Amino acid sequence: MKNNRGLVLIVGMALALAIVPISIGTTHAQVRYAPRAGDYFNYTETMDLNNAVGPVYQGYTEHYLTLGGERMNTVFPNGTVAAHYGYTYTWRNSSGPQPSGGKSGNFSYSSSTLLYTEGTDNQTGYEQSPVWFYIDNSVQNGGTFTLLGTPMTVQSASASYSHTSSTGYVSAIFAEGKSSYYRNDVYGRFNAAYTWDVYFDPSTGYIIGYSYVEQDTSSTGDGFTWTDILSVTTTSYALTSASPPPPGPGLSFLLVGFAVLFIFVLVTIIVVVVAIRRSRKLPKHTYVQDYGPAPPTVDLTPKQQPAQQIVIKEVVKVKCQYCGALIDSTVQRCPFCGAPRT
């Protein structure tokens, strides 16, 4: 029972570790913000052409740095907003620094329809299109709207955005749009596909920042990546601090998958170990003690040197025919008188 309790405890701990909290975005319901005279934002924008390939573009790069701002000067009773924009830019390409410049002007838009009504803030070709810097801040998760000519979908009405001019994250409405178009301009003719991630202030609906990434390809083998990153630097609307964003759904599901796999492997190992312990018996005649080489055969017969054998031969005696003494029959002469034996 003690081992079984330990098994239950281990499995319980593993299950507890596997419970990964999945953050579910919450929506907000609040009164829509109406632009006011004096609202403004200033921003920094960087644009880069890189990753160029092909016979024409291989190794070519461009880099733009833009400092700009927009201000709402007058708000009319019908919701029309008279605004002013201005910016300066510097840029260079792979050949070195290029001429810099800037531009400014007035335009107007409707705070109810969100469309430009007279002129634009230098958005050529987007007259009467939805503005890019302001949305209905009461939008919910999954809501849709349009920025310039791109359909957008709200991914989270309570997202966290890493703001470049602050020390941490700020609350944001996060929307994303994906589309494509055919480029035919000074860069050439390309099929362009892009993703546009945009962040807005939940309290006012004004822009906080965005990231635009476009991939251009052509039938001739040329191509490049175009990126446009914008972040506000100073605003008339206070940004709200927020916690870092939770792991994305992909990471959450990956963690859950690893946790489930870990539990499966752990439980399998425990079950196999328990089964082995319960089925183990003392083996019969399977163990041979090794005592080293066998000792020599013991011979209990006493060991002694063999006795020297003395063979005594008996010799026949005969009388000497001259002196009569007994002599060996094998001698030739009598040892006493010297006479021959025969």
Would you tell me how many other CB atoms lie within 10 Å of the CB of residue 330? 9
Of the candidates 91, 97, 71, the one whose C-alpha atom is nearest the C-alpha of residue 82 is: 71
Integer Cα distance of 139 and 151 in angstroms: 14
pLDDT in tens, 91-135: 999 999 999 999 999 999 999 999 999 999 999 999 999 999 999
Position with higher pLDDT, 176 vs 26: 176
**pLDDT at residue 81 greater than cutoff 50:** yes
How far is 20 from 10, CA to CA, in rounded Å?
A: 18
In angstroms, the Cα distances linking 193 to 175, 184, 213 are 17, 14, 8
- Please name each of the domains of the chain with its CATH number: 24-245 (2.30.230), 311-342 (no CATH)
Question: Percent of the chain, pLDDT > 90?
Answer: 58
Would the pTM of this model clear 0.75, i.e. be above it? no
**pLDDT tens-digit series, residues 125-137:** 999 999 999 999 9
75: pLDDT strictly greater than 90: yes
pLDDT value, residue 300: 45
Convert the pLDDT of each residue in 3-18 to its tens digit: 443 433 333 433 333 3
Query: Are residues 107 and 121 in contact, defined by beta-carbon separation less than 8 angstroms?
Result: yes
pLDDT, tens digit (0-9, with 9 covering 90-100), for 204-256: 999 999 999 999 999 999 999 999 999 999 999 999 988 876 665 544 545 55
| Angle at alpha carbon of residue 339, lines to 338 and 341, rounded to 5° | 115
The mean pLDDT of 294-300, rounded to a whole number, is: 45
Which residue type occupies 94? S
CA distance 252 to 110: 41
In whole angstroms, give the CA distance from residue 20 to residue 255: 7
User: What's residue 317's pLDDT?
Assistant: 75
Highest mean pLDDT among 22-26, 39-43, 160-164: 39-43
In the predicted model, what is the mean pLDDT of residues 248-268?
59
Of 169, 167, 144, the residue nearest 157 (C-alpha): 144
Q: How far apart are alpha carbons 206 and 171 in whole angstroms?
A: 12
Rounded average pLDDT over 278-300:
43
